[in-house]
Structure 1
């Protein structure tokens, strides 16, 4: 119940608005399967722009954006992003999980939050080179990775934030191609700090995951999680990667509106799904990227007509990550069985390791840049 002249957008479906004798209004909302950390009530002098999306799955989905007065042009531009963004997710991941309720967004004083069917938006209609609002796209990604698929333990919230962050470069690729994808991935790469493992292998609180000063991985659950998914996609291929993703999100390979419900998952289940889909055990991959802080380091040595490569990983385990090597303009794949590989290289030939940056690995340049940036921010004595 809110004062006269105010509106109260919330989760789920609006059943109706009752006007009381004193002029106040009662907003009646119903939500079928609420994610308990994603419930929100917003009250303000909102104006609304709305429409209907015709899904590629045959259903129609209501869309609405509640915004503050005086922002109609900006609001309409943001609302114009709703349908193509929804089409991207439905084409790449699967059906919008809450199509029988709505796609809802509301302007808020805080930056953003994935409140189910009523995402908070506070990005001030910022513009970016990629041509879309990353904050809206990120929070909307959480309808799949957060509200449909929910981690059973905060320790596995890379399932929310890693996927939620990877969706921005993936959308960039869907819109403009590989160059945009690569540019956005490189921006994320510079933000990975590797101070702590992405997962602690224990039941954790929200603060113990999101806050670095309380032992958490902090922003690495976003950016390192995203780059881990990028590396996994390159390793197992698009067909397997998106098959794993759909099974993780919907609990089945053939999602259609009405044949799935929100579900809980974990890193252990995700790893099992990769094994199920590919027929191979990638435990070595998850042991390094999820359970160790340091990144794998690729050691290169060129002697005579041979290029020798070897992986060094925290804990000293096996890391058979194949590596692309470009020699005189031609790309060769070095299998790296046992974590080591060799490739004949003509004398004087120009060599580029991992030319398309498929692998999340140690970068001395990034480490030195981060150290220099931290040093430059310190006050001069």
Structure 2
């Protein structure tokens, strides 16, 4: 076991830490937000509680379009604020302090300005004014003073002012609504589980809220709700969210209780089809207008509550730990709900997308990609899902699902990278899986097999060549199944060329198939003797 752990510890799937933000640990955000009733102006105040890692200043990010009004440190004014531009034309706020490592510190920043991105303010598709945060990947600091990186998770409270008659949704549980003079109210939300800053969201607008039956009650009951523009409410409840509770039931059974106190499905102005904000999933309003919001997307975003939100990729190149997981779990739910053929169809569709994508020229863990939006590709999603499916085929269902549960419980409310997942799966399987994760995550492409066979003397001779590009490397495929006139045989493919002799094949086959049960992402050509 010690040898195994040492081998896995050398798994080279870490990327350099982001030094553009604070090394200190943000523990809690207390966010007050006052969007103007017209235009895109906002007044914000953010109090962050930090655990200090050093005597270095605390650093936050805030867009240069936001004018800082004041900064308080532990409730007192701090006049030593340095603001310097950095490469992305945003502003860093450095706050000096006199405390020691391990101490806690409170910073409170008040600011105002016009939002350029991240907090989307405008009219929705029906002409009604809405406000929706849309932070992924690193756009929260465009409206929220924060440590805007996935590695630093924190609990959060929101206090959001809105006109009476509009509704507010945010992370966590609605604690109270305070009515103000002049036709406004303040909505107070609280979430006591740590989440990444890109998950910290608010939505304001005319929204019809519909309660769904509680779900996950076999382990922990969770209130579910649907928030939609009034014009789309009937479609939302009767259509795409009809089985939303079943999804929570299924994933809770696999991995444990739903990680948060509630889940809301929200129509919004997000630029993405769906965005998995913890407790408040935002969906693109156009999918409601065109009635194209499908259950697979709902399952994908629901699965993210466990993998992506509760367990968060620490570094962006490891995005597959979020998107690949959600893609595969959505396919698993589809199979659970609609039968194995639905699961297989989902996986085949994913395979077709990978095999036709230019992203295959790059590895899944792509440390060279600097454009974070460029990580939203078939490698992170569909190929990431296939990385899990192939792993399941190698270790078997029992070990696979036990490993996922172990990984989830080990990193819940925290962050992980690919080597963490590889270590957990190897520990659960009781064998070194380093070879698999190396090829699946660090090599580009996929195997392309040229299979040639001939028959003679009750033997089937197989010569299997890997013909993919040399720069894609060579793949190891243990126990590759072939179907010889309906009879399964297995061959270990290891190296550019594999030679195997199968005994007991009495007559010349009429058909030889490769991987009939679809456990491997590959292309094949099969040619027999004439």
TM-score by length of 2: 0.61
Equivalent residue, structure 2, for 1:63: 224
Structure 1 counterpart of 2:501, from 342, 347, 350? 342
Distance 2:518 2:291 in 1: 27
Identify unmatched segments of 5+ residues in structure 1. 253-260, 366-381
Residue 228 (1) aligns with residue 411 (2): no
Residue 44 (1) aligns with residue 214 (2): no
Equivalent residue, structure 2, for 1:289: 440
Equivalences for residues 115-264 of structure 1 within 5 A: 115-122=277-284, 123-124=287-288, 133-192=295-354, 193=357, 194-201=360-367, 207-208=371-372, 210-211=373-374, 216=375, 218-251=377-410, 261-264=412-415
Of 159-168 and 346-355, more deviation after overlay is shown by: 346-355
When residues 342 and 144 of structure 1 are mapped into structure 2, their CA distance, relative to the original with a 3 A threshold, is farther
Residue 107 (1) aligns with residue 267 (2): yes
How many equivalent pairs are there?
346
Q: Is the partner of 1:28 in helix, strand or coil?
A: strand
Equivalences for residues 292-371 of structure 1 within 5 A: 292-305=443-456, 306-310=460-464, 312=466, 319-336=476-493, 340=498, 341-344=500-503, 345=505, 346-362=507-523
TM-score by length of 1: 0.83
Of 168-177 and 116-125, more deviation after overlay is shown by: 116-125
Deviations 1:127-163 (A, max 9, x none): 78xx952222111111011111111111111000001
Q: Is the partner of 2:188 in helix, strand or coil?
A: strand
Distance 2:213 2:262 in 1: 9
CA offset at residue 37 of structure 1? 1.2
CA contact (8 A) 2:177 2:185 kept: yes
Choose between structure 1 and 2: higher helix proportion.
1
Identify unmatched segments of 5+ residues in structure 2. 1-160
CA RMSD of aligned residues (A): 2.5
Q: Is the partner of 2:170 in helix, strand or coil?
A: coil
When residues 133 and 55 of structure 1 are mapped into structure 2, their CA distance, relative to the original with a 3 A threshold, is closer
Distance 2:291 2:484 in 1: 40
CA contact (8 A) 1:12 1:117 kept: yes
CA offset at residue 59 of structure 1? 2.7
When residues 41 and 318 of structure 1 are mapped into structure 2, their CA distance, relative to the original with a 3 A threshold, is closer
Equivalent residue, structure 1, for 2:189: 29
CA offset at residue 17 of structure 1? 0.8
Equivalent residue, structure 1, for 2:165: 5
CA contact (8 A) 1:97 1:143 kept: yes
When residues 120 and 307 of structure 1 are mapped into structure 2, their CA distance, relative to the original with a 3 A threshold, is farther
CA contact (8 A) 2:175 2:188 kept: yes
CA offset at residue 119 of structure 1? 0.4
Of 73-82 and 84-93, more deviation after overlay is shown by: 73-82
Question: Which structure: larger Rg?
Answer: 2
